[in-house]
Structure 1
């Protein structure tokens, strides 16, 4: 594993909170760990690998592409969708979700977010939990995409940690806001790169979720956590089910 570099001043997270749409869904009122990073990180991270379909590059191309090249190509695709105000929001959400589901390592992220409590889940509960976790994080960014129409991203470099792991460094640029450095953590799966964490100031999105989930579980139990995740799944279905009558913000 390669470690992320220190990219900026200590007020980056406060600035991220002020960024349009930076209000991520939370499971309960148990602190803000995780909610400060999630929305923008997932909007950006949803496209960090070469898409399995509908993309000019093929999986064979991805096998030889650098992580930085893959990120640049995919972010261009995501930003184009985010900024297309002629496309109904519901359609933009569906297209971003397709990118996310093909390119995020959701199983790995879900297990890491559950932490030590993963061993307490039965095989059936694990099977149920992973898609619930996916719906939870997808809701966090898909609900806010109208706030990122003026988003610009500059990819500045990469750092390899052997043939399978890499960091890609980028900067988020928005009008009247200081630049925000983001680090994406990727793994090569042989024919494509997958993102499995996003970091702001070396603060891990997955680790923040783990702390948040741990607190909820210790105070209310795993069943309570699962019930709240199911609510987020229903919210996601509602977001994706909106028709073209949805407003084009």
Structure 2
């Protein structure tokens, strides 16, 4: 199974060893939040009293607090985003979110018990309220990948706007598809294609 954007949904689902209180005190607030996200959603993913659909919806509801779908969608489209009307932007964001959940949530749940993640001490402050937090993801076959989560602070929380897996950017992979679609089908045709879940997965990690 290949996955890049899967990390978007599995970030809080993968198994991670909890940090001791002393170690947590030395972490950046963005790292602490990511660790808390991992533990919170892992609890949902491992709840045997919930159906897969119930788990997906609870995870989605939780993730809504920490994922900036509007910024992810705008970055994934790129320059053509300026040509979208307000209604087209709203429709595209909703369709893009539903497409990603449909594409990756099932494999995310399946990977919850086999994928491992380790929070790395590496941290990059990009300025302009942007920060990268890094983890190492290990798949069930033992392959290891460095995953960076690009975040910005709003209020007391850090929101995710992109993911890079071994340097491969999720929004860049999707941008290539969207640029082709917009040229071929226009904006409304692109929204319809996304609504119909007609895009390919953004693949970068192999189990």
TM-score (norm 2): 0.78
Residues 171 and 181 in structure 1, CA contact (< 8 A), matched pair in contact too: yes
1:187 and 2:144 aligned: no
Seen in structure 2, the aligned counterparts of structure 1 residues 114 and 162 have a Cα distance that, compared at 3 Å, is closer
Q: State the aligned residue count.
A: 184
Aligned runs of 1:227-238 on 2, under 5 Å? 227-232=192-197
* Structure 2 equivalent of residue 10 of structure 1: none
Other structure's SS at 1:193 match: strand
Other structure's SS at 1:111 match: helix
CA distance in 2, matches of 1:104, 1:146: 18
Structure with more of its chain in strand, by fraction: 2
CA root-mean-square deviation? 2.5
Residues 46 and 99 in structure 1, CA contact (< 8 A), matched pair in contact too: no
Aligned runs of 1:94-243 on 2, under 5 Å? 94-148=57-111, 149-157=113-121, 158-162=123-127, 164-232=129-197
Other structure's SS at 1:176 match: coil
Seen in structure 2, the aligned counterparts of structure 1 residues 205 and 121 have a Cα distance that, compared at 3 Å, is same
CA distance in 1, matches of 2:160, 2:144: 22
For structure 1, list consecutive stretches of 5 or more residues without a partner in the other structure: 1-17, 23-35, 48-63, 234-249
CA distance in 2, matches of 1:78, 1:224: 35
For structure 2, list consecutive stretches of 5 or more residues without a partner in the other structure: 15-26, 199-207
TM-score (norm 1): 0.66
1:43 and 2:10 aligned: yes
